Amino acid sequence: MQQPSARLGDPVASVATPALVIDLDAMERNLAAMAEFARSHDIRLRPHAKMHKSAAIAQAQIAAGAIGVCAQKVSEAEVLAEGGIADIFISNEVVDAAKLSCVAALATRITLAIAVDSILGVDRLAEACKAAGSAPDVFVEIDVGQGRCGVSAEAAGALAQHVVSRGLRFAGLQAYQGGAQHIRGAAEREAAVRRAATLVRAAQASINSAGLECPLVSGGGTGTFAFEAASGVWGELQAGSYLFMDGEYADIGPAEHAPRFEHALFVKSQVMSRSASHVVVDAGIKAYAIDSGLPKVRGRELEMFNYGDEHGVLKPSGSGSAVDLPQLGETIWLVPGHCDPTVNLHDAYVAVRGGLERGVVEALWPVDTRGCLI
Amino acid sequence: MQQPSARLGDPVASVATPALVIDLDAMERNLAAMAEFARSHDIRLRPHAKMHKSAAIAQAQIAAGAIGVCAQKVSEAEVLAEGGIADIFISNEVVDAAKLSCVAALATRITLAIAVDSILGVDRLAEACKAAGSAPDVFVEIDVGQGRCGVSAEAAGALAQHVVSRGLRFAGLQAYQGGAQHIRGAAEREAAVRRAATLVRAAQASINSAGLECPLVSGGGTGTFAFEAASGVWGELQAGSYLFMDGEYADIGPAEHAPRFEHALFVKSQVMSRSASHVVVDAGIKAYAIDSGLPKVRGRELEMFNYGDEHGVLKPSGSGSAVDLPQLGETIWLVPGHCDPTVNLHDAYVAVRGGLERGVVEALWPVDTRGCLI
C-alpha cells in the first residue's frame, strides 16, 4: 500500500496524484437534497453503500435521515458493521453455505436483511440462521426488467411462502430495475419504471394469493428514484450515486421535480508528459473505471482520447487549441464516468473543504470495503 | 478489507469466491519458458511488475534469471523495494518534485532507473538527486509509434545531452511500442516493431551525434518480445503478461519461434442466481477488468453477455444449450481479458498447486502494490 496522498489541513494543491478527491461542500448539498426528497415524499431512504464503500459516509447518510444502507456482498456488510453501521440490507443473493454462516452470524449483531431468489438459497439461509439463532429480514427479489437476478412476479408468492415455511421472516420485495437507470431521457426511464411497477403489483398479488402480506418494496436508483417514489408502490429507495454524481448519471438528464445533484467526486491527476499535439496525465484505468465511458475533464477544453493502465492521453476539445495545452505538472481534474468501480480502485478518499481550487483537506476516509468481493 | 478467501492447504474447491487464483504449475512453465527464451537469445529480461504487483512473484522472476523488474509508479517501486527487490526501473515519467524526492531517496537504497522525456523532468530529477546524493540510471523515452509519452527520435540526443549536463547518468533509451502489443496477426506486429526499430536507430544516431554512447535499449512486451529480441536493437525486454497470459494476448496469436504461454490466472466465481435462460455469477467488474473484453469461461460452453459491478451474466455459447446451464453454487472459472487491471482489483492471490480441479492452496500472496497510484 502506498503512503497517504495527503495530510489533514493540506491545501488541495499539494495532494499527491492520482487521488480520489471529494468536494465536501458539493457532497453535503447532494446528501441534504436526497434526504429532503425522501422526507418530503414520505419514503424510506437506504442508500447503496456499494457505491461509496465507506463507513464514515454511511454514517453521514444515516445521520441525515437514512434508515440504514444496502450492501452487495457479505464481506461489505461485515466491514460496514465493524465500522458502526447497525442496519444493513444485503440486496443480493447468496447461496454459498460458508457465506450464509457469516450472514447468520452477522444477523446476531446488527439489523440485517438479505435477498433471495431460489429455494436452495432460502433453505441454506434457514439452516445457517437456525444454527446461529438469528432472524434476518428476507426479501424476495423479482426481475422487474433487468434480466439478471430475481424470480418472475408470478413466482414471488410461492417463494415468499417457502421463506415463511422455513421459519424465516418474509420482509417484502427487492425490485431494482438496474437497466432503467441509464436510459437517456426522463420519459423513457419513467416508462421503464411504470412497467416495473406493474410487475411489482403482480408480485404483490401473487404474495397475497399465497396468504401473505408484502410489508415493503425496496429498490430504485439515482436515475429513477423520483419515479419509484411517485409510484405508490415502492416504500424504500436504494439510490447511491446521487451522492457523488458520475458522468454517466449526469449525461442522462434529470427527471422533472427531482433534485439536481452536483459532481462531488473527482480524480486529481497531473500532466506528466507533453507533446505538440497532446498531454499525458498520470492517471489511467487503475485510477478510474471506463465501463461507462472515459472520464471528462473539469473546467478545461480537453478530452481524453486514449488511456493506458497508468496513463490518460488528452487533446484539445471543442474550441480548444493545442496552443492552450496545459503545462507539465499542471493539475487536471477528471470526472469519472462511473463512480462505483472508480471508488473501488482507491485506498482512500481525500475530502476537501472550500472547493477544488483553494480548498483544504478536511478528512481522509479509507475506502473501507474496497476489495470486499466475497 | 475482507477476510482471506482461503487458507494454506485448502482444496481449491473451498476457496471463497470471487478469488484471484494462480495455477502455479502453468505459471512456472511460463516463467521458465520466458527465462529460457531470454537466455538463449542473450538478451536481458526485466519483466514489468505493474502486471503482477507482487514482490514474491518478482523474486521468482529474478531467481529464474531476470535482471530486475520494471515498475510504472514511484509508490510501486517503493513497495517492491520494501519487499526485497533491489533493481527496479521506473519505466515512466515523473515530473512532480515531491515524487522525485522519493525517487532520489529510493536510489540511495536500491539500483534504480527512471525514464525522462522533458527538460523539466530532468532538471527536477537532478535537483532531487543532488539533495539526496543519489545517482539513478536515466533512460530517455522515445515515442516509437504509440503516440503517448516520449520525445521524437531526432530529439533524443539533445535530451540525453541535457541529462549528462545536469550530472546524471544517461543509461540508454526507453522504447516501448505499446500499441503494437495488441495488433492481431504476428506479421503486422513484426512490421510495427520494424518501424519502431528504425526510430530507435535514428535516436541512437542522434545520441551519437551529440557525442554520447547509448548503453542500452529497453522495451518490448508480451505481444512483440520475439521481434525486439531478433532486431539486434533492443538489449532488454520488459514483457510482463507472459507470466499469466490474459485473454487478449491469447487472442492475437503467438509469433513463430516464440514460446507458447498458458493461461495461469483465473477469477474463481460461483453461480448465485439461475433462470431458464441464463445464470449469474458472483463476480462483476469489481473482480475483473473489461477494457480488453469480457472474461472468457474456462472449460464450459458458456459466454458472458452482460455484467454489473458485482455480477456476471452468462448464457450458453456455441453448441451449449440452456438445459446444460450450471447449477446454483457451481464454480465457474473466468479468464480475464486483461490481467494488469484485473490483478489490481484484488487484495491477494490464491496460488494453487495441482490444477484447478483437484489442486490445493500452496501460497497466499498479497497484491503488494495494489492501489499504488502515486
- Give yes or no: residues B30 and B16 share one domain: no
pLDDT in tens, B123-146: 999 999 999 999 999 999 999 999
What's the rounded Cα separation, in Å, for the pair A217 and A141?
10
- Give yes or no: residues A29 and A118 share one domain: yes
Contacts of B311 (CB under 8 A, 6+ apart): A148, A149, B280, B281, B282, B283, B284
> Would you state the cell numbers that stand for residue A129, as one nine-digit string?
440462521
- Give yes or no: residues B80 and B143 share one domain: yes
What's the rounded Cα separation, in Å, for the pair B288 and B294?
8
- The reply to whether A322 touches chain B by the CB within 8 Å rule is no
- Give yes or no: residues B63 and B191 share one domain: yes
Is B56 inside any structural domain? yes
Average pLDDT over all residues of chain A: 96
The complex's ipTM works out to 0.97
Is A6 inside any structural domain? no
Among A222, A251, A280, the domain boundary falls at: A251
- Give yes or no: residues A298 and A352 share one domain: yes
- The alpha-carbon gap from B311 to the nearest alpha carbon of chain A, in Å, equals 8
- For the beta sheet containing A236-237, the strands, ordered from the edge strand earlier in sequence to the opposite edge, are A44-45, A236-237, A217-219, A169-174, A137-141, A111-116, A87-90, A69-71
Chain B residues lying within 8 Å of A286, measured CB to CB:
340-341, 344, 373
The beta-carbon neighbor of B270 closest among A96, A121, A283 is A96
- Cβ–Cβ gap A78/B340 under 8 Å: no
Of all residues in chain B, the one with the smallest CA distance to A94 is B272
- Give yes or no: residues B316 and B332 share one domain: yes
- Give yes or no: residues B46 and B129 share one domain: yes
Mean pLDDT of B197-225: 97
On the question of pLDDT at B304 being above 80, the answer is yes
End-to-end CA distance of chain A: 21
What's the rounded Cα separation, in Å, for the pair A143 and A152?
6
Q: How confident is the model at residue A256 (pLDDT cuts 50, 70, 90)?
A: confident
Among B246, B275, B298, the domain boundary falls at: B246
- What is residue A45's predicted lDDT score, i.e. its pLDDT? 98
The beta-carbon neighbor of B285 closest among A72, A121, A291 is A291
Tell me how far the alpha carbon of residue A249 is from its chain's centroid: 12
On the question of pLDDT at A253 being above 80, the answer is no
Mean pLDDT of B167-176: 98
- Give yes or no: residues A143 and A278 share one domain: no
- What is residue B3's predicted lDDT score, i.e. its pLDDT? 85
Chain A interface test: which of B10, B273, B277, B370 (most A C-beta within 10 Å): B273
Is A115 inside any structural domain? yes
pLDDT in tens, A40-87: 999 999 999 999 999 999 999 999 999 999 999 999 999 999 999 999
- Cβ–Cβ gap A308/B370 under 8 Å: no
**CA distances (Å), origin B53, targets A307, A312, A321, B374:** 20, 20, 38, 14
The beta-carbon neighbor of B2 closest among A149, A329, A371 is A371
- Cβ–Cβ gap A98/B287 under 8 Å: no
Mean pLDDT of B314-324: 86
Among B246, B279, B303, the domain boundary falls at: B246
Question: Residue A34 is part of a domain; what is its CATH number?
Answer: 3.20.20.10
- What is residue A238's predicted lDDT score, i.e. its pLDDT? 98
- What is residue B355's predicted lDDT score, i.e. its pLDDT? 97
- Cβ–Cβ gap A98/B285 under 8 Å: no
On the question of pLDDT at A254 being above 80, the answer is no
On the question of pLDDT at A28 being above 90, the answer is yes
- Give yes or no: residues A216 and A300 share one domain: no
Amino acid in position B304: M
Q: Burial, B42: exposed, middle or buried (Cβ in 10 Å; 0-12, 13-18, 19+)? A: exposed
What's the rounded Cα separation, in Å, for the pair A7 and B106?
22
Mean pLDDT of A252-269: 90
Mean pLDDT of B223-237: 96
pTM over 0.80: yes
Is A84 inside any structural domain? yes
CA dihedral A201, A206, A212, A218 (to 10 degrees): -40
What's the rounded Cα separation, in Å, for the pair B93 and B90?
8
Is A167 inside any structural domain? yes
DSSP-assigned letters across all residues of A240-252? -GGGT--HHHHHT
Host domain of residue B62: 24-246
On the question of pLDDT at B253 being above 80, the answer is no
Question: Residue A273 is part of a domain; what is its CATH number?
Answer: 2.40.37.20
pLDDT-wise least confident of A34-43, B176-185, B340-349: B176-185
Is A54 inside any structural domain? yes
- Give yes or no: residues A212 and A242 share one domain: yes
Q: How confident is the model at residue B9 (pLDDT cuts 50, 70, 90)?
A: very high
Mean pLDDT of A189-202: 97
Mean pLDDT of A28-49: 98
What are B13's strand-pairing partners? none
Q: Which of residues 168-187 of A touch B (CB under 8 A)?
A: 178
- The H-assigned helical ranges of chain B are 24-40, 49-52, 55-63, 74-82, 97-106, 119-132, 156-165, 186-209, 225-231, 247-251, 339-343, 355-358
What's the rounded Cα separation, in Å, for the pair A90 and B327?
22
- The alpha-carbon gap from B40 to the nearest alpha carbon of chain A, in Å, equals 31
The beta-carbon neighbor of A310 closest among B92, B150, B308 is B92
- What is residue B370's predicted lDDT score, i.e. its pLDDT? 97
Q: Helices then strands (H, E): number in chain B?
A: 12, 17
- The answer to whether residues A305 and A314 touch, using CB atoms and an 8 Å cutoff, is yes
Of all residues in chain B, the one with the smallest CA distance to A3 is B75
Is B170 inside any structural domain? yes
- Give yes or no: residues B265 and B241 share one domain: no
Domains contained in chain B, number: 2
- Give yes or no: residues B184 and B218 share one domain: yes
Is A4 inside any structural domain? no
